[in-house]
């Protein structure tokens, strides 16, 4: 394996904790991200934040929202996301709900606006070795969620993180989201051995995307539990107020109630591996904004 | 997916429970199998049974022993197992310890003797679609542990089980043990999505072999926990009194203390998914035999 | 790579030539095998032999017939081949046409009868590491056509051949037939790099099955030409008098005219790489039998 | 398969021919590109042009030079190419030799300078679905050589080309360069079935990179011949005046004499499939510049 002086563990026991709004990832608390594949409108996101976000009285099931406004799609004729008009939507919902927002950056030219509107910049699987983008993200003051490429080795993922870190940004969160294989029953194969290995080989937080791995709703909860048991620091789950009506990835998108039930089931598993569900509640003022 | 009238769930909620000695797999109790890659001698197995098996006072960490006396090896010049002399060894240790024995059958001609000496006949990955062997195993009165082929689809594994069932033997246990992929860091990629899918698509018990999936000791415990969290009915783990001295698969073989610690850590995870560690203790008389 | 003292090249320039009836494989002449996926009846095979076999006046397009009487099928409920009644069919057609017959052996118990009725015993992909079968085939006096497993490495294929050779039978022909990959457009991915490597690493003949690799008729001719250009010693092609009516593998089965055109197109490519189309004509007496 | 109205064949027999300097790709003439993995200095490129390029008296073995000045490398600490100083080198050598230059573009910001200095802009495997880059290349007046991603499906490659075409640039050349698989003996697996399929499904030229597919020198010539026999429109081959001293990819880089011998061997194969080696000679004046 190639040397990774910055993100590699290199014998140290230190663990990077990335702070995101009131939440954090890499420490004892699990970091659960939920949201739609694609941002459709403000009401969609508000419903999710309302249903799953923290309130002054209870911690909520998710610690951050996700949703793409720029969507990487196989065909140029498929829906490409709402684009820049989505920037204000995600910022507003994020402020109202107190939930930080994770969204994908597909181009260097998008970085400047995204840094102003989002809390975590996601690099999608197709761009894991877009070194131009990685270098640019090394120079921004935002955590980067780096998804493993469809057929990237563990080493290549670590070195992609090293590109970002070596250009100045050490707040990198790795994400296993399934790799390509020969069996079409699941969309991809979730590689939890890679999660365990990444935790051993690097000091970065590692989260899991069970939705893209499975490609089927009925597998998401079990794979989520498996991921936490394997030692993942969190999850990023596709959900929607009306899953069947999701513009994209409907077949792997679960309902908000399903997310709530799933997260609840994670509690004892988290404890069994020395972790816990996040306990932060939102400040009262923030929550009132949602009601406006 | 091709129809599997016998092993497929086909809408039913019924779950097959396979009974093996005092233990069972597919019900609430986890079924943990431990033992070496290859049977080396009686002392090796006795040490494992002594360390990990049940006693009159406590349930023990494993419910069955494993170990190959006929070994499928890539090269004809590699160690091929102790062969038929191992038959008496496994039967004796099994009787002394009260632990049922799981061992691989590689040929139709081996079945008759194995049925007399072992409790579960394992079909290895390379033979998952050895239909001649599957048909013959359909006619024996022994549970079959059917390992997924290196690049077998979920459908192909189910249909291989259907071969056995359609020839008369419905006591089939499926086993996910990692599939081939492009990353050499782990020996294979553990496909827990397949485990979840197999539990949904069939009523057969499904266990996981984390050792062959990982190919590295330091990944075995975490993958075992993930497998139970995903809903697996049990595990088959390679262990050895002196792992570094194992004749084969040493790099993925863990110590007996490591198995004990690993199984203990499974308890709360099992509970979180509605399962529990097996609680059967051995009868006093049986245990005395081990001391002889 | 593990040592293969018998089938490995080990520095020698010697090339094994396997003689099969009047034909041979591994020498200058290409060895083209044609026939259906499954033997259906005598008329089917006679039509192929008549159309593509040699006659007293011209060499014909194929040097051997193929066709399975025992068929390995994913489901136990799919057509399993005509079975033992096919033995006499293949022997009769083979004698009438003067074309040797290649057929698959799926079980040790089938060997004895097949040795009496067929000229080449084929080991299918699923059985490439059925070591029991390989050992038994090491003891028969018939060439073995050993197909690469779906996800077998080059090393594993070589070592499977070494199993046969080390048990006494050095007449082994290797066959690349496509490996499993992530793209469903083709049934498998034809790995011609493996063909080149196998020719360099062993002294065994190496042929290519473009039909199973492609899984689509319209790719078969081009892949056949590519295989010969890569240095393959021959081809095994699925064809049928009425391809659309083939019981199995219809979508990858080509017509007899297509085979004839394809083989003709191989001539100049063979010459470009120092090979040639086979030139043996059948003896007059044999051919007359077909007319009966 | 998703519709590709611009690059898809959609029933038409028309074939796109992309013109590059005096050469073309997609017509009857093969288009052979040769050069180092990385541009090291002007002397290196001049030696290749001199040895393999056309002269007033003969057509030469290659129709274009290749060489990266920006290199995508797994580690940020590996050699990243000579960078912008290489721009003048490639332009000068190209003008002196009369050979067009193919070089990789890794970032939108590099396009403007590259359009001025290079003749074909290559999109590397890692960037095949860097849609930002594809869109930008849709707006330039230069042919694009689009390499298949490491685990991209045939459909995904076609749709990536459609991205470029739908943004205005229809001069796209597809390139199969091997896909990731489980066998480490070769670096990748050359998928010639994809080449045949791409020729059937699109009207774009399709070339093959045997060097990255094989990852081993001793396989390059045979795979090149196979590619042409399969119907590829050309090849892109890594070569170097002193292969063992190449800064990167030395183990798959062949000598200039090896390229010459390989191209010569392609002639009869090309003819067998209705193609031919390119016959254009350089104009005298241009060639004299090389001698300066």
The nearest CA of chain B is from the CA of A214 a distance in Å of 7
Crossing angle of helices B42-52/B85-97, nearest 10°?
20
Nearest-CB residue to B269 (from A184, A191, A269): A269
Cβ contact C177:C207 at 8 Å:
no
Nearest-CB residue to B106 (from C131, C163, C167): C131
% of chain D beyond a pLDDT of 90: 94
pLDDT of residue D284: 59
Residues of C in contact with A184 (CB under 8 A): 184
Under an 8 Å CB criterion, which residues of D touch B? 151, 180-182, 184
Q: Residue B78 to residues C2, C154, D7: CA-CA distances in angstroms?
A: 10, 18, 53
pLDDT of residue B284: 59
Is D192 close to C151, i.e. CB distance below 8 A?
no
Under an 8 Å CB criterion, which residues of B touch C? 2-3, 72-78, 106-109, 126-133, 149-151, 155-156, 159, 162-163, 166-167, 180
Rounded distance, CA D74 to CA D77, Å?
9
Residues of D in contact with B184 (CB under 8 A): 184
List, in sequence order, every beta strand (DSSP E) within A90-190: 101-104, 120-123, 144-147, 172-176
Rounded distance, CA D75 to CA A131, Å?
10
Q: Note the pLDDT tens digit of each residue in B50-70.
A: 999 999 999 999 999 999 999
Average pLDDT, chain A: 95
**Residue among C151, C178, C183 with most chain D CBs within 10 A, to mutate:** C183
Type and span of the H or E element at B291: helix B284-291
Type and span of the H or E element at A33: strand A31-35
Give the 3-state DSSP-derived string for C212-224, with helices as H, strands as E and coil as C. HHHCCHHHHHHHH
Cβ contact D190:D231 at 8 Å:
no
Is A185 close to B197, i.e. CB distance below 8 A?
yes
- Among B221, B193, B264, B203, smallest CA distance to A224 is for B193
Looking at the DSSP assignment, which residues form a beta bridge with residue C122? C104, C145
Q: Does B19 have pLDDT greater than 50?
A: yes
Longest dimension (CA), chain D: 53
| Residue C83 phi, psi (nearest 5) | 75, -155
pLDDT of residue B283: 74
Is A162 close to D2, i.e. CB distance below 8 A?
no
- Among B25, B35, B143, B146, smallest CA distance to B89 is for B35
- Among B173, B161, B163, smallest CA distance to B206 is for B173
The nearest CA of chain A is from the CA of D5 a distance in Å of 10
Rounded distance, CA C254 to CA C244, Å?
9
Rounded distance, CA C220 to CA D73, Å?
37
Q: Residue C269 to residues A7, C102, C222, D225: CA-CA distances in angstroms?
A: 53, 25, 12, 9
Looking at the DSSP assignment, which residues form a beta bridge with residue D122? D104, D145
Helix ranges restricted to H, chain C: 42-52, 85-97, 108-117, 131-137, 154-166, 192-201, 210-214, 217-230, 256-272, 284-291
Q: Does B257 have pLDDT greater than 70?
A: yes
- Among D262, D182, D217, smallest CA distance to C191 is for D182
Indicate the SS3 state at residue B146.
strand
Q: Note the pLDDT tens digit of each residue in C258-276.
A: 999 999 999 999 999 999 9
**Residue among C81, C126, C162 with most chain B CBs within 10 A, to mutate:** C126
Q: Note the pLDDT tens digit of each residue in C195-229.
A: 999 999 999 999 999 999 999 999 999 999 999 99
Q: How far out from the chain centre does Cα B224 lie?
A: 13
Q: Does D159 have pLDDT greater than 60?
A: yes
Neighbour tally for D14: CB within 10 Å: 8
Residue contacts between B and D (CB atoms, under 8 Å): 8
The nearest CA of chain D is from the CA of A217 a distance in Å of 24
Q: Which residue of B has its CA nearest to A180?
A: B181
Average pLDDT, chain C: 95
- What is the average per-residue pLDDT within B218-246? 98
- What is the average per-residue pLDDT within B109-133? 98
Q: Which residue of D has its CA nearest to A162?
A: D76
The nearest CA of chain A is from the CA of B269 a distance in Å of 5
Is A107 close to D107, i.e. CB distance below 8 A?
no
The nearest CA of chain D is from the CA of C141 a distance in Å of 32
Cβ contact C242:C6 at 8 Å:
no
pLDDT of residue A234: 98
The nearest CA of chain D is from the CA of B181 a distance in Å of 5
Is C200 close to D181, i.e. CB distance below 8 A?
no
Q: How far out from the chain centre does Cα B169 lie?
A: 18
Q: Note the pLDDT tens digit of each residue in D46-79.
A: 999 999 999 999 999 999 999 999 999 999 999 9
- What is the average per-residue pLDDT within C137-146? 98
Is A191 close to B193, i.e. CB distance below 8 A?
no
C-alpha torsion sign, points C122, C125, C128, C133: negative
pLDDT of residue B282: 84
Residues of A in contact with D167 (CB under 8 A): 76
Rounded distance, CA A225 to CA A211, Å?
13
Cβ contact A129:A149 at 8 Å:
yes
pLDDT of residue C284: 60
pLDDT of residue A284: 59
Q: Which of B76-90, B228-242, C54-68, C274-288 has the lowest mean pLDDT?
A: C274-288
Q: Note the pLDDT tens digit of each residue in A135-179.
A: 999 999 999 999 999 999 999 999 999 999 999 999 999 999 999
The nearest CA of chain B is from the CA of A159 a distance in Å of 14
| ipTM reported for the complex, 2 dp | 0.96
The nearest CA of chain B is from the CA of D184 a distance in Å of 8
Cβ contact D36:D276 at 8 Å:
no
Q: Does D141 have pLDDT greater than 70?
A: yes
Under an 8 Å CB criterion, which residues of B touch A? 1, 151, 153-155, 178-179, 181-186, 189-194, 196-197, 200, 213-214, 218-219, 222-223, 225-231, 265, 267-269, 271-273
Is C180 close to A184, i.e. CB distance below 8 A?
no
Q: Note the pLDDT tens digit of each residue in A90-126.
A: 999 999 999 999 999 999 999 999 999 999 999 999 9
Nearest-CB residue to D156 (from A74, A163, A166): A74
Residues of D in contact with B125 (CB under 8 A): none
Residue contacts between A and D (CB atoms, under 8 Å): 83
C-alpha torsion sign, points B72, B206, B130, C237: negative
Rounded distance, CA B225 to CA B272, Å?
12
- Among D175, D179, D177, D198, smallest CA distance to D189 is for D179
- Among A76, A5, A90, smallest CA distance to A41 is for A90
Under an 8 Å CB criterion, which residues of D touch A? 2-3, 72-78, 106-109, 126-133, 149-151, 155-156, 159, 162-163, 166-167, 180
% of chain C beyond a pLDDT of 70: 97
C-alpha torsion sign, points D91, D92, D97, D98: positive
Neighbour tally for C12: CB within 10 Å: 8
Nearest-CB residue to B74 (from C130, C133, C156): C156
Is C129 close to B72, i.e. CB distance below 8 A?
yes
Give the 3-state DSSP-derived string for D214-251, with helices as H, strands as E and coil as C. HCCHHHHHHHHHHHHHHCCCEEEEEECCCHHHCCCCHH
Q: With the CA atoms of D268, D270, D274 and D277 taken in that order, what torsion angle do they form, in degrees rounded to the nearest 10?
A: -100
Cβ contact D77:D57 at 8 Å:
no
C-alpha torsion sign, points A128, A132, A138, A144: negative
Q: Does B291 have pLDDT greater than 70?
A: no
Is A108 close to D109, i.e. CB distance below 8 A?
yes
Q: Note the pLDDT tens digit of each residue in A236-277.
A: 999 999 999 999 999 999 999 999 999 999 999 999 999 999
Rounded distance, CA D98 to CA D63, Å?
9
Q: Residue D23 to residues C78, D29, D54, D268: CA-CA distances in angstroms?
A: 54, 9, 11, 20
pLDDT of residue A287: 41
Is A162 close to D131, i.e. CB distance below 8 A?
no
pLDDT band at D282 (very low <50, low <70, confident <90, very high): confident
Q: With the CA atoms of B77, B80, B82 and B87 taken in that order, what torsion angle do they form, in degrees rounded to the nearest 10?
A: -150
């Amino acid at each position: 394996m190639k040397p990774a002086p910055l993100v590699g563990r290199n014998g140290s026991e230190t663990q990077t904790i990335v702070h995101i709004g009131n939440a954090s990832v890499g420490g004892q608390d699990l970091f659960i991200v939920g949201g739609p594949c694609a941002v459709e409108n403000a009401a969609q996101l508000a419903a999710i934040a309302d249903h799953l976000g923290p309130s002054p009285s209870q911690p909520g099931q998710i610690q951050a929202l996700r949703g793409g406004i720029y969507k990487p799609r196989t065909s140029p004729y498929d829906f490409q996301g709402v684009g820049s008009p989505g920037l204000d939507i995600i910022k507003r919902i994020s402020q109202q709900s107190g939930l930080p927002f994770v969204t994908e950056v597909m181009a260097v030219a998008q970085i400047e606006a995204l840094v102003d509107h989002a809390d975590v910049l996601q690099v999608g699987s197709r761009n894991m070795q877009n070194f131009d983008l990685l270098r640019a993200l090394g120079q921004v003051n935002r955590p980067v969620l780096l998804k493993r490429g469809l057929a990237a080795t563990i080493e290549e993922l670590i070195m992609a993180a090293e590109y970002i870190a070596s250009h100045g940004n050490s707040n990198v969160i790795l994400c296993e989201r399934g790799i390509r294989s020969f069996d079409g029953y699941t969309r991809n194969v979730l590689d939890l051995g890679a999660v365990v290995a990444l935790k051993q080989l690097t000091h970065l937080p590692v989260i899991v995307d069970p939705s893209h791995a499975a490609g089927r709703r009925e597998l998401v909860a079990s794979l989520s539990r498996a991921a936490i048991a394997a030692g993942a620091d969190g999850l990023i789950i596709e959900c929607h107020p009306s899953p069947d009506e999701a513009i994209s990835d409907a077949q792997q998108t679960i309902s908000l109630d399903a997310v709530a039930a799933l997260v609840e089931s994670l509690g004892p598993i988290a404890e069994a591996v020395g972790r816990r569900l996040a306990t932060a509640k939102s400040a009262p003022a923030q929550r009132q904004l949602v009601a406006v």
